[in-house]
Amino acid sequence: MFGTLASGDIETARLRRNLGVTRNLGFSCGGFEDLGMRLEDDNMKPREEDDGEHVAEETASFEIQQQMQKLVVGYALTSKKKKSFLQPKLELMARRKGICFVAIDLNRPLSEQGPFDVVLHKLLGKEWQEVIEDYQQTHPEVTVLDPPSSIQRIYNRQSMLQGMADLKLSDCSGSMFVPKQMVVLKDSASSADKVVEAGLKFPLVAKPLWIDGTAKSHQLFLAYDRRSLAELDPPLVLQEFVNHGGVMFKVFVVGDIIKVVRRFSLPNISNCDKAKVEGAFKFPRVSSSAASADNADLDPSVAELPPKSFLEALVKELRTLLGLRLFNIDMIREHGSKNVFYVIDVNYFPGYGKMPDYEQVFVDFFQNLAQARHKKRHCK
């Protein structure tokens, strides 16, 4: 009634049963479909089983599974970040390459979980920072993406861009600057004189000093005059506005991999506009994928991407300066220039779901980490 299993099917079923046993031992990653298909194609013949052979089969299956499971990535992400980043396509592509994502239980000590090859995280708070720092000290063999001390620098817009203007780029196909800026810790109204003393010119982009994960920390305003500063809530950073043709470049960095997309930004502001407009105006959210300018009919001098060699040189320096592997920079080209660029913002572990082919980029990145770990182990 149920038919008879072919010899290859019997052996495949047995191995799959054994793999199920090893999963109960703590290896819950997928990625064994291809193995089963290969065994079926090989038409392996069934063998007589005894207790010793059964144990040997389980041991062999366990070893095969360990070989296929190349990298275990423990992740600690907010529900929003998990939803946007751990898309089914990414998990499937990663699983086929032996990369497994495992959620970190925040209610249990991190040292009792795993073992992990990589810890991927983006959580705020001093308590979590201490957990990761302690874990790094006791598990130096684990790659932590990224060090909390480096991430904290990015969460403060005062320290975020420090040191960038001093970078010595070997490539001469472009030059990089940061806008003039100053910090206002309290009493925005009385800061007008300090703005003038600092040599900043209106209009000014006003940004919250701290990036704390809330929507408010990403609210930006454009202050056209001295009186408009009174409308703003400190602490904040005032950054000189640079005309850039209404286009911003978001440069995504994943290890050594660089991807660039265009976003619509604020249009140029003329002297006539400055004379007519007063007050502080809220920015539209220019970083969203809905603001994409990649397929728009734009002036080539505005839309042309930064030179590849320039970006590679810049990102190489920034990885060292920031101590990060997962970040993006917001960059603009000074209007009327060929390749004079300003870095205006940096984000840690940004919305990679908005980056083209991000799934393949991250699979390649994690594979590179796995290969590096393999070489390191065999060089000892």
Binding residues for Mg(2+): 330, 345, 347
Binding site members for ATP: 157, 207, 239-250, 265
Binding site members: 81, 122, 157, 207, 218, 239-250, 265, 330, 345, 347, 351
Q: What is the DSSP letter of 45?
A: P
Residue among 157, 242, 238, 239 at smallest CA distance from 191: 238
Residue linked to tokens 């909390």:
148
Contact 91, 73 (CB under 8 A): no
Strand ranges (DSSP E) for the chain? 71-77, 99-103, 118-122, 143-145, 175-177, 181-184, 204-208, 221-223, 236-240, 247-254, 257-264, 280-282, 326-333, 340-348
What span, in angstroms and rounded, lies between the C-alpha atoms of 272 and 379? Answer: 66
Binding site members for 1D-myo-inositol 1,3,4-trisphosphate: 81, 122, 218, 250, 347, 351
Residue 186's alpha-carbon distances to 181, 201, 230, 234, in angstroms, are 16, 20, 11, 5
